[in-house]
Amino acid sequence: MSKIHARPLNPLNPGLGAVLEDVDLNNLSDSDFDAIRTALYLHNVVCIKSQEKLTPKSQAELTRRFDPEAQSYGHGKTIDAKRSILHPDLKTVPHQPEVQVIGNGFVADYEGLKDITLKHPHHRTFHKTVIPDEEDLDCTRFYRWHIDAALYGRLNPPLVTSLLAVRVPAGRTQTLLYDDGTGDSLQVPLGTTAFVSGYTMFDILTPDQKQFALNSKIEYAPHPYVWMSNAKSRPDGLGMVSEDRELALNDLPPIESAADIQILPMVWQNPITKKFALQIHPSVVRKIHCRDGSIIDNLAQVRDIVHSLQRPGIAPQYVYAHDWQEGDLVLFNNHGVLHSVVGAFDKNEVRLFRQCNLAASSPPVGPEALSAQCV
């Protein structure tokens, strides 16, 4: 029996955030891994402390252990598309292509990468409205709520993402502003990663909203991160403003097959608790497929519907903002949480992280698949 113990970070919300204790990743037995996997799906975001010596290879191997048939990085080679909004944010570790380096500032030499300048995503480059320059280091926003997923082609959304904090700027906090007319705000550590539970997001829906979500699917845009590259985000980071700035289909890279367009359930199921998560990437939604066969294809309407479903779930009381320490290895259930980059850094504040996720070997399990299993 494993000695690994999960300590919830918030006893009032044990389903979002825990520290795993008595973990030796260099000597991880099958029972130890089973304990980590169980903790992940019970708490959905788990942190293993003091992993400074974890190599990129070991990080990739641990991430793959959650889905042994998974092979490629979650975005495959689509990350190389120069027009993708993801392109500036990630650097690939040369000797471990499943692992990406992210952060902020100049790094002379790291894991075979030389003289790289990392750019922490800043809301000024992505949001329709911005915080005034004079408040920039004191205040911040959620940059973009999302799931780690290509959402195009044969690349299924990864089951799990691992994040390792290699270098973390010290000490200050920022006031996170929703700037959406609600007055909502949150005090957060500098450069936090914010998480919300898709299970909570589903649980707090009205009965009518739950039925709609259980019986609807989202059609994502082709080449989604190129398609929306000219659009701007809402101030809460939860989806885009509709201004007809999306690229026309004939301006995108070729669509090789209609099957490459991903149509996924709105609701995905936890493999252990069996709970349902409202799991939608709001920035790249394009259509809603309804149970009766009708399709909602007015983009502004689609975005408004998705925002109305998701916005209650990012209220301040539901957000877990991880306070990063160097050596923290965080694993999160990418089929059950949304997350967002947060923070505005001074140019001399260097942040260095490693990220790994792998395109899943099978698509998410939604209510329709469960019903089919029962027939």
Residue linked to tokens 């995503």: 121
Q: What is the pLDDT of residue 290?
A: 96
pLDDT over 60 (residue 293): yes
Residue type at position 170: A
The verdict on residue 371 lying in a domain is: no
Average pLDDT over residues 17-25: 95
Distance of CA 193 to the CA centre of its chain: 10
Average pLDDT over residues 84-95: 79
φ/ψ (deg, to 5) at 78: -65, -20
pLDDT class of 81 with cuts at 50, 70, 90 = low
- For the chain, the farthest-separated pair of C-alpha atoms sits apart, in whole angstroms, at 61
Report the number of distinct structural domains present in the chain: 1
pLDDT class of 86 with cuts at 50, 70, 90 = low
The verdict on residue 372 lying in a domain is: no
Average pLDDT over residues 302-307: 98
The verdict on residue 370 lying in a domain is: no
The lowest-confidence range among 69-78, 122-131, 305-314 is 69-78
What pTM, to 2 d.p., does this model score?
0.95
The verdict on residue 152 lying in a domain is: yes
The verdict on residue 10 lying in a domain is: yes
Task: Specify which residues 352 forms β-bridges with.
Answer: 103, 167
Nearest to 77 by CA among 101, 103, 98: 98
Q: What is the pLDDT of residue 229?
A: 96
The verdict on residue 103 lying in a domain is: yes
pLDDT over 70 (residue 82): no
Q: How many residues does the chain have?
A: 375
pLDDT over 50 (residue 371): no
How far apart (Å, rounded) are the C-alpha atoms in residues 70 and 159? 9
Confirm if 31 and 4 have CB atoms less than 8 A apart: no
Beta-carbon contacts of residue 209 (< 8 Å; ≥ 6 apart): 309
For the segment 225-265, what is each residue's pLDDT rounded down to a tens digit?
Answer: 999 999 999 999 999 999 999 999 999 999 999 999 999 99
Distance of CA 77 to the CA centre of its chain: 18
Higher pLDDT among residues 337 and 81, named by residue: 337
Q: What is the pLDDT of residue 350?
A: 94
Contacts 24+ apart (CB under 8 A), 82-88: 83/226, 83/229, 84/225, 84/226, 84/229, 85/126, 85/225, 85/226, 85/228, 85/229, 86/225, 88/119
The verdict on residue 196 lying in a domain is: yes
Average pLDDT over residues 137-162: 97
For the segment 192-214, what is each residue's pLDDT rounded down to a tens digit?
Answer: 999 999 999 999 999 999 999 99
CB count in 10 Å sphere of residue 23: 23
pLDDT over 90 (residue 72): no
Confirm if 213 and 309 have CB atoms less than 8 A apart: yes
Return mean pLDDT, the chain. Answer: 93
The lowest-confidence range among 44-53, 324-333, 360-369 is 360-369
Structure tokens at 181: 């007319």
Q: What is the pLDDT of residue 83?
A: 65
The verdict on residue 1 lying in a domain is: no
Q: What is the pLDDT of residue 372?
A: 41
Name the residue range of residue 113's domain: 6-363
Q: What is the pLDDT of residue 373?
A: 40
pLDDT over 50 (residue 80): no
